[in-house]
Amino acid sequence: MIRVLAIAALLLGATPVAVLASEGGGGLINLDRSLIIQAINFALLLFILAKLLYKPLLTKMEERTLAIRKSLDEAQAARAEAQREREEHAARLQAAHAEAQAIRAAALKDAAEEQRKLVEAARGEAARLVESARAELASDVRRARQDLRQEVSELAITVAERLIRKSLHDEDHRRIVADAIARVDKAN
Amino acid sequence: MRAREATARRYAKAVYELARDSGDSDAVGRELAQVAAIVGGEAAVHDVLTRPWIKPDDRRGIAAAIAQKAGARKLVQDFVGLVAERGRADHLPEIVSAYRALVDAEHGQARARVRSAVALTDQEKQELSARLERALGKRILLEERVDSTLLGGFVAQVGSLILDGSLDGQLARLRQRLAGG
């Protein structure tokens, strides 16, 4: 508004100069009543312009300013929101990362424990198998020895029986019977 | 087997008591053994006396006739007939053994069943009997038989007592020692 009035005053100041300059013999502005009419016209025009043009323009400008400010505020808010969300996402990501790390660590620990148990069980089983195989082997050896002893004794006794049967004479029988009779008292 | 022996003992005791009362227990025992040998030795006779479908009266008659034919006294004829009638003719060998045991108990004697690789001489028998009598405190009746499966020596059994004087027994003990380690 001030600027408009300044422009109008400038125009008013310049006009007499232009009129006087062109007057040598009469210009556009004369310092008489017409000047007052012109001034009134001018003021009237100024008023109308201010009323019909300047005020809507100012209102529009104001609205525009407000809209821009609002947009700026919204942009600021959106930026702040985005920043907040970004931070929130970063925090969430960090928490997820930490949780993943914890899960991984727990899984690694579980796997290590499971591996330890498996190894321990495998060692136990291996020891048991070895012990069982050793016992079985010992049993087999014992059985084989017993079988061998049995067979050898059977063989020896069979051979002895054949030899005795072949070599026994009547006098041997008599002596054997006499020995057996002599043992009757002792046996009882 | 135990039931069969128990049955035989009941029959033997019954006939023994009758024989003892008449004072002929030894003779009755001999005749019983003779009839049992005939019945056991002849398969046809044994079959006839043990078949359940032959009438009990017929079995009785046949058994009594066999005993009579063998010269057994009336008591033995009746007893054998009764045994056949009751279907117990196959028990005769056990009855004879049980009867002998009763007679032996009456006389305070015991039977020694001796299996030997070769026949024992009279002197050996006397010696063995004498030693067994000393050992057991009873008069011993030797029942000897030669067992060719024995290598040498003898095995004597008196009741539940077994005296093993055979080479087979010695070898068996040796085998056991060798096998046992």
All residues at 6 or more sequence positions from B135 whose CB lies less than 8 Å from its CB, including other chains: A184, A185, A188
pLDDT digits (tens, 9 = 90+) for B86-101: 989 899 999 999 999 8
Residues A184, B153: C-beta atoms closer than 8 Å: no
Residue A173 lies inside a defined structural domain of this protein: yes
> Considering the domain boundaries, does residue A172 fall inside one?
yes
Which residues, other chains included, contact A25 with Cβ-Cβ below 8 Å and sequence gap of 6+?
none
Q: Enumerate residues 106 to 165 of chain B having a beta carbon within 8 A of any beta carbon in chain A.
A: 116-118, 120-121, 124, 127-128, 131-132, 134-136, 151-154, 156, 163, 165
Name every residue whose Cβ is closer than 8 Å to that of residue B121 and which is 6 or more positions away in sequence: A174
The secondary structure of A59-99, three-state, reads: HHHHHHHHHHHHHHHHHHHHHHHHHHHHHHHHHHHHHHHHH
* Inter-residue long-range contacts of B18-23, CB under 8 Å, 24+ positions, other chains counted: B18/B75, B18/B79, B19/B75, B20/B106, B22/B75
Give the DSSP H or E segment for B23: none
B161, β-bridge pairs: B158
Residue scoring higher pLDDT (A80 or A183): A80
pLDDT, tens only, B30-54? 999 999 999 888 888 888 888 889 8
pLDDT in tens, A29-59: 677 878 888 889 899 998 998 888 888 898 8
Of A156, A161, A168, the CB nearest to B178: A156
| pLDDT over 50 at A24, yes or no | no
Distance CA B86, CA B34 (A): 20
B179: contact with A, CB 8 A cutoff: yes
Which structure tokens are listed for A52? Answer: 């019909």
Tell me how far CA of residue B156 lies from CA of A39, A85, A172, B113, in angstroms: 178, 116, 19, 6
pLDDT tens per residue, range A94-140 = 999 999 999 999 999 999 999 999 999 999 999 999 999 999 999 99
Q: What's the whole-model pTM score? A: 0.54
Q: How many domains is chain A partitioned into structurally?
A: 1
ipTM: 0.71
Question: Could you give the CA distance from residue B68 to residue B76 in angstroms, rounded to a whole number?
Answer: 9
Question: What local confidence, expressed as pLDDT, does residue A29 receive?
Answer: 66
Residue A155 belongs to some domain of the structure? yes
- Angstrom distance (rounded) from CA A30 to CA B36: 193
The verdict on residue A57 lying in a domain is no
The 3-class secondary structure across A87-134, one letter per residue, is HHHHHHHHHHHHHHHHHHHHHHHHHHHHHHHHHHHHHHHHHHHHHHHH
Selecting from A149, A173, A181 the residue whose C-beta is nearest the C-beta of B178 gives A149
Mean pLDDT, residues B18-30 taken together = 90
pLDDT for B50: 86
- Return the residue of B nearest to A163 by Cα: B151
Residue at A168 is within a domain: yes
**What pLDDT band is residue A17 in, cutting at 50, 70 and 90?**
very low
The range of the structural domain enclosing residue A164 comes to: 141-187
